[in-house]
Structure 1
Amino acid sequence: MAILQPLVDIAAICYQQGVRHVVASPGSRSAALTLAFARHGGFAMHVCMDERSAGFIGLGIAQQTRVPVVLICTSGSAVYNFAPAVSEAFFQQVPLVVISADRPKEWLHQYDGQTIYQSEIFGKHIKRSFELSSDYAHKDVQWAINRIANEAVTLASTTPPGPVHINVPIREPFYPGAGEDMIASADLKVITRQASESILSPETWNNLLDDFEDFPKILIAVGQNMPDPELSEVLNKISEEWDIPILADHIANTTGDKIIRNHDLFLGRTDIQNLVPDLLITTGLSFISKDFKQFIRKNPPKAHWHISEDAFLADPMQSVTNIIPTSPQYFFQNLFEKIDYQLFVQNSDPETDSQFIQNWNIQDTKSSRIKADYLQNLSKINDLTSLDLVIKYTRKVYQLHVANSMSIRYVNVLDLPPYIPGVFCNRGTSGIDGCVSTAVGAALMNNEETLLIVGDVAFMYDRNGLLIESLPQNLKIVVINNAGGNIFRMIDGPAGLPELETYFETRHAFSAKRTCEDSDIAYFSCNALETLETSINQFLENEGISLLEIFTDPYENEQVWKSLKRACKA
């Protein structure tokens, strides 16, 4: 039998670099890798039979810890099943270390099972791909494996974080024999990488401050971001003291009473030219609001600063004029301190246009009032009312996870209580695959009550994430079952096609009940507005993991959503 020492050392290096969680999918060729991590004793091992779900569980764990999570799989098509999670991690900037077992290259095209092209299999959706030699005897190869393991883990964490891939060809024999111990090499080398901070020169700051003073109408917009109390605090100071509106989707996790939240309900109007900024400052990743992006595209500001340490030039509004490569915390804190000092020395007030923030607040307040009145007067069960009541009845702290498609669009227009500590959604690629598994991974880590809101198609697409041995008991799941992909009724293109129900919505009669029975999840259901409050409360009060399935009518949902939009834009 065999002990593949360099693979044992990879596990030891990952531990020394701070990795503590491993998600492994069963397989034979990967046995040496899995055992190296499992027998190390320092890792929490999570086993998931489906690599696609396993990848997203790992993503959910890393999303919470901000520390790389190792994914292990066997050779062949198993590796490809990590691809959705890897691409999401790449665009959402979540650190993963994918370690795939492989067959030696000479067996390609020799009708050998589970042998495919695995080198650089994830293409451009990876920070870097590494491939080990299949022959470990030479000391240079051992040195290279040690170096690659160190580089992979540190690179996954380097700003902007993201996934890396190590492909490991493994020759037989690879199972350890009875009594053979897996112990790291005595001369194990760990290479650390020091963290650095991108700062701006005094000259750059002087130029930025001079330009800033030339723009009386300034808007700050925050895209998807991790919860950051310090960033929220300084943004609220800027807004309050300088009369600058702050716009943020819920996934921006920017807290504060003055944040513009209802922009998706009024920015589609044509009579809002008084909301056009002279200077737009953006930070974070994606924006949910399509209306916001289109508003800026149609009304480009004189200047648009984007605060980002990303290597790519992201310009979804087609208006960026200046990329400022530093962290948002550093930028906004320094901006506030420097301008605040200038105003103090000059004994003057900010020159921003106070009417501009009033224009935004008027529209935000109007839309909020129209929305509240509209929701209160609905008399039939529907998606929007159901989620509004679920959120209102969650009277204790829940970390909120939301699936893509209509789920996140509904949540983004609803009011969230201030005690929600974070809103998470896979908006890197915005796919429905992996929404359940990501929430499972997050709930395993966060030590908080966790609530997932998911549509029926997204839930069924990712049910395998519930097949792990120990489901997190702090997870509650709300499934909005409208019997198909309801979002296609809301989109102008497919909504008018005669093939809508067959090829877009994919009508079905399935429910989550049997999945709950298979996974030992407490199941609750509701299909009437009169019993919804009781069902929600029973669901939320239940101890342990539970699921509430709310059945709604797609035609009613379509009418409710479009009528709300019309009411706010009238």
Structure 2
Amino acid sequence: MDEARLGFAWAWTLLDGLARAGLRRVVASPGSRSTPLTLAALRHPDLAVQMIVDERSAGFFALGLAKADHEPTALIATSGSAIANWAPAVVEADAARVPLLLLSADRPPELHACGANQTMEQTALFGVHVRAFHALPPPDTRTDWLADFAARVFHAARFPLPGPVHLNIPLREPLTPAGPTSAPETRPVPLVSKGRTAPDAALISSVDARLTGKGVIVCGPETLGEDARAAILDLSARLNAPVFADVLSGLRFSAPDDAAVLAHPDAVARQKPAFDWALRFGGTPVCRATAEFLRARKGAAQIVVSDCARFGDPDRIATHLVQADVALFCAGLRGRPAPADWARQLARLDDAAADAAETACAEDAPFEGALLRRLLAGLPENTPVFLANSLTIRSAEWFAGRRARALKIFGNRGLSGIDGNLSTALGLSAALGPTVAVLGDLAFLHDLNALALMRAKKLTVLLLDNRGGGIFDHLAQAALPEFEAAWIAAQVYDPAALAKAFGLRYSAAETNAEAVAAVLENLAEGRAIVHVAIDRAHSLARARKFFASSQLETCS
């Protein structure tokens, strides 16, 4: 067999093994050395392939697909600096526990350490940020092990700790087979099952003994599954324990109206109500106030629960670290209900915060808090929404409240970067349909190459343009003489011109109501940018008014 057909057969067997294990989506970038991998993916009947020129954008697009499906997405790129552009998405996937399969093409061994073009050391390129790294040999005629190996790699990205897995694949020239290709003989792959970690009776008894008095349930930004959310709400009702839920947890925009899920948990947390115990799920909360609220009760029983061996406890105040399926754990607990006035006390604080938020958002001059409050209240049920990092996600935490009709809320909170946010949202829209992305002007600027993908995706972008890093107005850096130059770093670009250049619809909104109406109008078709100019000083004043009227100090 000639080298080109050997390389294709090798790549096909690898991709077929992944497909038989469950892979359905591949994101590839054009390149020469990766030709056998890309060609095999394009010709495989069970794989859908998205071609993206920019490898950094491709990485975050794949991240969005994997977030939507909760299953691995594969990335393919050529050798050299191309795959280094995956790094931001890889480290986010590691921290956020998102499964990715990194299929990097490489030069064969004889082209290393001799000055060959586009050749670098790719071994363990992503270091500790992948679950596993495998350096494959160059293609040869023996492939009886490859499909089985691929299936095991696929599942290594899923559990016990979801995340990226990297395969480095050296390929020899010629890379392009002449004439038609036929699929090599398919081979069976092992069926791998993912179990649920059930807590044992002794653990449940130990935790139950601590669940006495006034309790709270805290749910961080990691999306909790439907079973877990239902079990948490049931436990909250049984124990009369209010739920402090981040917007990304899935509980703020799905729980019934009568559930004890706080609409403004950040504001209530700032009051530091004294609890006797806390059950904590879903990672570290977005806003600092909730962390300070938990820290203020160091010494009280705090049980951190995760379905894998990675726990959100940066202050090291947990009294129990429990690895267990969240739904099974909650269902096994009995505890003792808190006094009735405990939940009423926190509900009064929550109502006061809701009144303060409504007042702060009453004016129609553009304001991040008002825009997010109105948008998330008005979107159709089950709309996917991506919230960019920095001031956008915090404004949602502070002002958005809650609603019983479900929304699918996403964000990149693994490492909380503002890079790749638009590409991630485009990946979500490719998997889930019409999607809204809310981005600040700097997050938008960080990912302009992603606009090339928008013409074919049903994504509507709400661009909150406060001319720089508005989050820093809320932080200590605002007092520095170098503040405007080094932290706000206002950029000058024309979103209308960018929209025209990429063939997208554009509208400028002058009020909160106009902006939300424009998003709703464009939602079904997408391919639209709704641009809102926001006065930073006015925005900061309204946020401070909210904190002051709630008798709270401003805090990020």
Q: 1:65 aligns with which of 65, 69, 75?
A: 69
For residue 537 of structure 1, what is the amino acid of its counterpart? Answer: A
Q: 2:269 aligns with which of 267, 270, 278?
A: 267
Residues 1:356 and 1:225: Cα distance change in structure 2 (over 3 Å): same
Q: 1:454 aligns with which of 399, 415, 439?
A: 439
1:157-199 deviations in whole A, cap 9, x for unaligned?
A: 22331111101111212211123x141334x241221222212
Q: In the TM superposition, what are the counterparts of 1:336-347 in structure 2 within 5 Å?
A: none
Residues 1:122 and 1:173: Cα distance change in structure 2 (over 3 Å): same
Residue 267 of structure 1 aligns to a residue whose secondary structure is helix
Q: Which runs of 4+ in 1 moved over 4 A?
A: none
Check conservation: 2:283, 2:311, Cα contact below 8 A. no
Q: Which residue of 1 aligns with 2:213?
A: 216
1:193-252 deviations in whole A, cap 9, x for unaligned?
A: 12222122233333333333xx21221111123353333333223223321111101111
CA distance in 1, matches of 2:517, 2:330: 42
User: Which stretch shows the higher mean deviation, 537-546 or 20-29?
Assistant: 537-546
Q: Which residue of 2 aligns with 1:558?
A: 540
Q: Which residue of 1 aligns with 2:282?
A: 284
For residue 33 of structure 1, what is the amino acid of its counterpart? Answer: L
1:398 aligns with 2:383: yes
CA distance in 2, matches of 1:454, 1:284: 24
User: Which stretch shows the higher mean deviation, 500-509 or 228-237?
Assistant: 228-237
Q: Which residue of 2 aligns with 1:482?
A: 466
**Superposition deviation, residue 478 in structure 1:** 0.2
Residues 1:237 and 1:105: Cα distance change in structure 2 (over 3 Å): same
Check conservation: 2:10, 2:139, Cα contact below 8 A. no
CA distance in 1, matches of 2:437, 2:230: 27
**Superposition deviation, residue 302 in structure 1:** 2.2
CA distance in 2, matches of 1:158, 1:183: 30
Q: Which residue of 1 aligns with 2:371?
A: 386
Q: Which residue of 1 aligns with 2:168?
A: 167
Residues 1:250 and 1:366: Cα distance change in structure 2 (over 3 Å): same
Q: 2:36 aligns with which of 20, 32, 37?
A: 32
Check conservation: 2:93, 2:163, Cα contact below 8 A. yes
User: Which stretch shows the higher mean deviation, 21-30 or 286-295?
Assistant: 286-295
Residue 288 of structure 1 aligns to a residue whose secondary structure is coil
**Superposition deviation, residue 389 in structure 1:** 3.3
So what's the TM-score if we normalise by structure 2? 0.92
CA distance in 2, matches of 1:396, 1:54: 29
Check conservation: 2:17, 2:146, Cα contact below 8 A. no
CA distance in 1, matches of 2:37, 2:439: 34
Q: In the TM superposition, what are the counterparts of 1:222-237 in structure 2 within 5 Å?
A: 222-226=219-223, 228-237=225-234
Q: In the TM superposition, what are the counterparts of 1:46-445 in structure 2 within 5 Å?
A: 46-134=50-138, 136-137=140-141, 139=142, 142-143=143-144, 145-179=146-180, 181-186=181-186, 188-212=187-211, 215-226=212-223, 228-254=225-251, 255-256=254-255, 257=257, 258-269=260-271, 272=272, 275-335=273-333, 350-376=336-362, 378=363, 380-394=365-379, 397-413=382-398, 414-445=400-431
CA distance in 1, matches of 2:233, 2:151: 40
Residue 124 of structure 1 aligns to a residue whose secondary structure is helix
User: Which stretch shows the higher mean deviation, 23-32 or 242-251?
Assistant: 242-251
Q: 1:540 aligns with which of 506, 517, 520?
A: 520
**Superposition deviation, residue 470 in structure 1:** 5.7
Could you list the runs of 5+ residues in structure 2 that have no partner in the other structure? none
1:346-390 deviations in whole A, cap 9, x for unaligned?
A: xxxx453333222222211111112112222x3643322333333
For residue 533 of structure 1, what is the amino acid of its counterpart? Answer: A
Check conservation: 1:268, 1:569, Cα contact below 8 A. no
CA distance in 2, matches of 1:558, 1:351: 41
**Superposition deviation, residue 541 in structure 1:** 1.6
Check conservation: 2:305, 2:311, Cα contact below 8 A. no
CA distance in 1, matches of 2:342, 2:264: 16
CA distance in 2, matches of 1:228, 1:135: 41
Check conservation: 2:30, 2:53, Cα contact below 8 A. yes
CA distance in 2, matches of 1:477, 1:366: 32
CA distance in 2, matches of 1:113, 1:412: 49
CA distance in 1, matches of 2:424, 2:103: 19
Q: What is the identity percentage for the equivalent residue pairs of Structure 1 and Structure 2?
A: 26
So what's the TM-score if we normalise by structure 1? 0.90
Check conservation: 1:265, 1:569, Cα contact below 8 A. no
Residue 285 of structure 1 aligns to a residue whose secondary structure is coil
Q: Which residue of 1 aligns with 2:491?
A: 508
Q: Which residue of 2 aligns with 1:520?
A: 503
Check conservation: 2:372, 2:396, Cα contact below 8 A. yes
1:319-370 deviations in whole A, cap 9, x for unaligned?
A: 11212111111111222xx56xxxxxxxxxx453333222222211111112
Residue 529 of structure 2 aligns to a residue whose secondary structure is strand
For residue 175 of structure 1, what is the amino acid of its counterpart? Answer: T
CA distance in 2, matches of 1:463, 1:306: 39
CA distance in 1, matches of 2:407, 2:366: 28
Residues 1:200 and 1:299: Cα distance change in structure 2 (over 3 Å): closer
